[in-house]
Structure 1
């Protein structure tokens, strides 16, 4: 689909977005971004400005039309956001096939073009290129190319692969009309129990920093934003890894971030590097800093999204960040869906009402509210004199600049046929498959009688992998009693929880295997050598598995075909552990949550 263009008397082609027959400055593709932004802001009402400061969630139905409700109690249709609430940042959750998604993107942009100023929509997404389905944090690849989770890219220790992934993801996103990535995660995995480690690059701050730069290079482009870029939102500033007891700050019991090891700077380091490189947006952590002092000043114990010392004092003034600060999702209102609920993540300011929370976050430094749908808050604050319109203009200027830099005002449309060809292309799928194979990590294998690689033609029994996949890998499918080798796929253990919305998808709590799981392996090992393939989204306590395992292969998001190739091919599994694997739960409990590798005698060290 192509935009409708008008021709100025000097020959310039432009979109007459306000339909007045004149090429206004904000419509002129030849003017600098700052001039276009200034012209547009002078034409905007307060309600239109407020709409820019809201970043709402929508779902896209299978047909790719605009009957998609907001995934909350409000059930707000997408057209209501754009036409009446002036919301032009939309975060898509589940998406349909590429053609339908591209169609939806074009329809939402047509709708935006029909508004008085024609401000285009920025479509954003959480990560969606791997195997973890957690609609509060990430989505499985489905139609897109499938890659290991970021923790698997960390296992590869290869910046070029990170950059390749980001560039391919950029191409797939732009083909679908998605122009904002709510990632990368620059948190450092220092608490072994934390549920979000799979979305980090590991426990090394130096590696997270290098990979973060490569990631942003691939999405945004080494020369800055352009019409082919996807704008990144790096998170969770100033580092979300040191979670008390490994609990996640989505939930009331996970509010605290502890700095008992005085390692605040270690967690901040990746952000320093990426900010020096340049990034479009920053998302603050939900967490509350506990016992933190910086430059002799005690930091207030309120969530980072409400913390002026961190967002204005550190991020803006000390680190010089001039881009967008967008809150993490639902800081202001509670979330409800399907009978489940989750309180607003207003940690430390729960006593404040919604309007007061909005004011507090803006005064702290936030430009935009993720996961919310009520721009009238901002209008009310200005009209009541509690917030100046000049402060609103600061945020609007930053938000509009990104839209202009992405070229959305000049052409926000996508080619539906190209989307089908680009998204999940054979070339991109092959690249993702290679990364899945190479990120696999041989954690345990015998030096005397190695089990990996498995000899071609071996009789393989697997309770989880289909016989057709086993045959395609060059092995002979076998029964348990016939097997030369047994391959079993397992996942890192966790405590199932289902009290709050989103809670079942966050694999938190104990890292210990149940007795029944260990007994199952013991029983299997009585028939043939067992190769344990474990999805190591967190550093599971592997010690009880060792007596019953001929080998242990860690994967971080891999198909059956990738697993079998890693097992069949000499040297294919090239990964190294991106974090320490502790020896016991007692050692984890005794360790400091902000210190990497702080258990006293880990079973396996990072880098093995």
Structure 2
């Protein structure tokens, strides 16, 4: 409400405030936007309020003038036990293809399971899926307008419930150029504005000396997510990339604790603001506490062979520091990782060796008491039915109760409210603990203003997503993220108008920059033109994994192969799957969906040098190393520029021949247009390496997983390294 209107109503409003017990500070509050699509509104003292319970009266929890704590205190006793129990659950709820809730689990989740938190995984795109067949795990691809229509439809279902508690949608990162998105890990950008992947954000921050690249990301992301009705995020990752073999390095902001802490702070400030409120774009769930980077052998705890987080270098405090920074900035939520801490200690006190979300020492003790975190704790997905490390011998109900009693407030990847009410019936979870968790969760929904207006405008979403101004900011940060590592004989920038051989990228961007381009990408039969007689050859290189979808814990070709043993256990790789160790409690094998979350076959995780990857079955270099060598020979190394996508700190071993190229650029997922701007000299490179690159594979394997970098003699390029054109 404008000040002039408030002045006219001041007498009546003061009277209403005195009657209700509200402080006079409410006089200064502006009327927020109110939208109801079922139960209507109520008016008091000329002000409008959403009638969430539909009783025609203004209840304290419906009164936006009141402090959040007062509203929570009023709502809690109005809630039934099952309504409270449902709030402890969050699971995937993908949009229907046409933007509605038909053929989705929305009605069951809201009306029966009484859930109010959901994970959205659909890709938002300008080329939506045909509404045919069964969608994959990530759902149908939908347009921006359809996504907004879906979130509205779900909010309408929630509004129709007795107390009208709005829902909150969460998502993994979306606004990044991502050539290999993985279900449950990171989403594809689709129509949304693309920034470089997280290591690229760090490279831009290091190179520019400030957090402006982060601020551009949060500004654009905040507008786009809010337009779709996505007000929560599973992210960002504050983990440190100290273990190069860990396949999630490309979601981190690099190996440096101080840089990651600065970025974490800027992200919280950019997306949440100084305090969580209706103007906040997105409430964050920072992950994976207390730092998921130091995985034993680089093996990830999504899989049964990767349960342990190890700290042989004694650097536990460095991994915690970015989370401490996020907490100080007011992050709304924290997500612990699956892993079991090995040799982890805080101020001399070791932690119990139990999955993070099951450890009261870790959550209620360390996170809340020692670090002062006051928000809610959201488990990682699947700890109840699959990745309950440390409690594999317990039934799902006991895992659930243990996590809640350790301090976890909402359990991800689970949607069975009857299990929760059963635990309340037996006293395994107390009513007091239930109210504590629900109070924390409701606080976020009140603070974000969802009780006043949870709806969005689908037409506006279609205009906002990926608009020209947003894309310009994304492109700028993409350019800033590129790191020039080698520039022998001044090969870069490429001479204007020259003949350029391009492989691993489309020729269009180079042609548009005025170059005479030969498209060196192989045809379907493998044939490609030769690279001789060109002024330069540009070879864009990507690395991924292949042949991992058939991995099974009990398969003689994979997890049960007696010729392949885990060096840490001396057993076959599938031996630690709970279905093998405690089959009664674990009827299905955790890893029997293949390695869908990413990474190489466990016996090839060490193989991150280019020579080793070229020989491995589960690594794939594009173009193949043999082709890269051919092009280097045809064009001459002194006329060749390698552009390598470092999704991890791969080793440019001397045997690979890649060091011979005169030009070398590190990229962290950027468009061809951003790359060509640097290749042509239209944009001078400024990025700095977010992690060190080893000179040999032995150094990677020998390095302590919790410590960054390598000894000088084993370092090819140190953290922060980056050249410019010196102009």
Bin for the TM-score computed over the shorter chain: over 0.9
Find out whether 1:267 has 2:319 as its counterpart. Answer: yes
C-alpha separation in 2, matches of 1:545 and 1:122: 51
Alignment partner of 1:313 is 2:355: no
Corresponding residue to 1:97 among 117, 140, 143:
143
CA contact (8 A) 2:316 2:345 kept: no
**The one of 690, 696, 701 aligned to 1:578:** 690
Q: Report the Cα distance in structure 1 between the residues aligned to 2:275 and 2:225, rounded to whole angstroms.
A: 19
Asked if structure 2 preserves the Cα contact closer than 8 Å seen for 1:493 and 1:511, the reply is: no
Which segment drifts farther, 518-527 or 260-269? 518-527
Selected match of 2:503 from 440, 451, 463? 463
SS in 2 for 1:182: strand
Q: Could you tell me how far apart the structure 2 residues matched to 1:475 and 1:78 are?
A: 53
Which of 507, 513, 518 is the matching residue for 2:599?
507
Residue 524 (1) aligns with residue 631 (2): yes
Q: Which runs of 5 or more structure 2 residues have no equivalent in the other structure?
A: 1-33, 124-141, 519-528, 552-590, 616-623, 722-727
With normalisation by structure 1, the TM-score equals: 0.94
Q: 2:537 aligns with which of 486, 489, 504?
A: 486
Measure the CA separation in 1 of the matches of 2:44 and 2:609: 72
Change (3 A) 1:577 1:164: same
Contact 2:275–2:330 (8 Å) recurs in 1: no
Distance 1:292 1:526, change over 3 A: closer
Q: For residue 412 of structure 1, what is the aligned residue in structure 2?
A: 454
Task: Map 1:167-206 to 2 at 5 A.
Answer: 167-206=219-258
Q: How far off is 1:23 after superposition? A: 1.1
Please, which moves more after superposition, 13-22 or 295-304?
295-304
Q: Deviation digits for residues 561-593 of structure 1, max 9, x if unmatched?
A: 111112112553211111011112211111100
Q: CA distance change for structure 1 residues 127 and 545 in 2, over 3 Å: closer, same or farther?
A: farther
Q: 1:309 to 1:598 in 2, by over 3 A?
A: farther
Alpha-carbon distance, 1:327 to partner: 0.3
Alignment of 1:558-569 (within 5 A): 558-569=670-681
Select which of 150, 155, 164 maps to 1:118.
164
The number of aligned residues is 589
Return the match for 1:31 from 34, 53, 66.
66
Aligned counterparts of 2:343 and 2:508: Cα–Cα separation in 1:
56
Is 1:603 matched with 2:725? no
- Checking the alignment, whether the CA contact within 8 Å between 2:354 and 2:390 is kept in structure 1 is yes
Give the alignment partner of residue 3 of structure 1, picking from 29, 36, 48: 36
- Paired residues for 1:219-298 under 5 Å: 219-298=271-350
Is the contact between residue 479 and residue 683 of structure 2 (CA under 8 Å) also seen in structure 1?
no
- Could you tell me which of 65, 78, 81 is aligned with 1:46? 81
Deviation at 1:31, TM superposition (A): 1.2
Over 3 Å counting, the alpha-carbon distance change for 1:502 and 1:44 in structure 2 is farther
CA contact (8 A) 2:257 2:319 kept: yes
Q: Corresponding residue for 1:80? A: 108
Equivalent residue, structure 2, for 1:154: 202
- Decide whether the 8 Å contact of 1:135 with 1:502 is kept in 2: no
Deviation at 1:2, TM superposition (A): 4.2
Q: Deviations over 1:201-243 (max 9, x none)?
A: 1111000000000011111012433244210001111111111
Please report the TM-score for the alignment, with normalisation by the length of structure 2.
0.79
Of structures 1 and 2, the one with the larger relative CO (CA 8 A, separation 6+) is 1
Contact 1:225 1:231 in 2 (8 A): no
After superposition, give the CA deviation of every residue in 1:80-138 in whole Å (9 maximum; x if it has no partner).
10111111101001141110001101111111111111111101000011114111210
Q: Deviations over 1:370-421 (max 9, x none)?
A: 1211122221111112221110000000000000000000000001111111
In structure 2, relative to structure 1, the CA distance for the partners of 1:88 and 1:489 (3 Å cut) is same
In structure 2, what is the Cα distance between the partners aligned to 1:46 and 1:596?
A: 48
Pairs within 5 Å for 1:277-356: 277-333=329-385, 344-356=386-398
Q: CA deviation at 1:430?
A: 1.0
Given that residues 308 and 363 in structure 1 are in contact (C-alpha distance below 8 angstroms), is that contact kept between their aligned partners in structure 2? Answer: yes
- 1:135-181 Cα deviation digits (max 9, x unpaired): 12101111100010111011112311112201210110000000001
Q: In the alignment, is residue 536 of structure 1 matched against residue 588 of structure 2?
A: no
Q: CA deviation at 1:249?
A: 1.1
1:383 aligned partner: 425
> 1:545, CA displacement in angstroms?
3.7
Alpha-carbon offset, residue 292 of structure 1: 2.3
**Whole-angstrom distance in 1 between the partners of 2:501 and 2:398:** 61
Q: Is the 8 A contact 2:225 2:281 kept in 1?
A: no
Which residue is 2:185 aligned to? Answer: 137
**Structure 1 contact 105–176 (Cα < 8 Å) conserved:** yes
Identify the residue that residue 10 of structure 2 maps to in structure 1: none
In the TM superposition, what is the alpha-carbon distance from 1:470 to its structure 2 partner? Answer: 2.2
| Contact 1:209 1:271 (C-alpha < 8 Å) held by counterparts | yes
Q: Bigger CA drift: 133-142 or 404-413?
A: 133-142
The structural deviation recorded for 1:68 is 4.9
Matches within 5 A, 1:430-469: 430-446=472-488, 449-469=489-509
1:406-460: CA deviation from partner (whole Å, max 9, x where unpaired): 00000000011111111111111111111111101111221xx122111221111
